Structure 1
Amino acid sequence: MSRMLIDYYKAIEDSSAKMLEAAQAQDWEGVVRYEGACAVLIEQLRHRAQTVELLEEERVEKARIMRRILENDARIRDLAEPWVQYLDGQMNGARTLLH
């Protein structure tokens, strides 16, 4: 049963990698799509993790997977920052025109 938890972590890691690939291609709709998949997997993982404990080697694997997910997240944020600033500028311009 604990192996199933690791499978959830791996699936989240895979979705995270796909989010990064989409961000590198500036496919922001793809990023949002994979982010949604991650959210579903995380919720499922939370539910399953309440009743299952990982073995020592699985905790080590989980830590490796979590580091990779966090690295992907940081890279996605770096790629998204110019796009977010552009959107902020567009929104501020629209607000100025409305006033």
Structure 2
Amino acid sequence: MPEMLIDYYKAIENSSAKMLEAARLKDWDEVVRCEGACAVLIEQLRYQSQQQELEPAQRKEKARIMQRILRNDAQIRVLAEPWLTQFEHLFEGQLQVMH
């Protein structure tokens, strides 16, 4: 369990890296699991950020961590796009029937 606020950012970055690795392996179930872990950590971070503040040096570290998380997210989106397109095509015919 993270104790300092910066530890939550590090844990989110770690989950983000795991998501990217799973996406590279096309393990979409694992991507979803890691995404769920990230969501929990983000909620905990929101709560903890009301109780604690980052030190100036930690704010710089947070900025670097956030940049890495955003880079991971962008790469995950690129890897997931073909899968999402394929997924949409599976339901195209069924969605038209429903309307």
Q: Distance in 2 between matches of 1:52 and 1:64?
A: 19
Aligned residues: 97
Q: Does 1:4 align with 2:8?
A: no
Residues 25-76 of structure 1: CA deviation (Å, up to 9, x unaligned): 0000000000000000000010000121111100000000000000000000
**Whole-angstrom CA distance in 2 between matches of 1:74 and 1:48:** 27
Counterpart position of 1:16 = 16
Once the 2 structures are TM-superposed, how far is the Cα of residue 93 of structure 1 from its aligned partner? 2.7
- Measured on the aligned residues, the alpha-carbon RMSD in Å equals 1.5
Superposition TM-score, scaled by structure 1 size: 0.91
TM-score calculated relative to the size of structure 2: 0.91
1:54 counterpart residue number: 54
Q: Which runs of 5+ in 1 are unaligned?
A: none
Cα distance in 2, alignment partners of residues 75 and 66 from structure 1: 14
**Structure 2, unaligned stretches of length 5 or more?**
none
Report % sequence identity: 63
How far did residue 7 of structure 1 move?
0.6
**CA–CA separation in structure 2 for the residues paired with 1:60 and 1:98:** 51
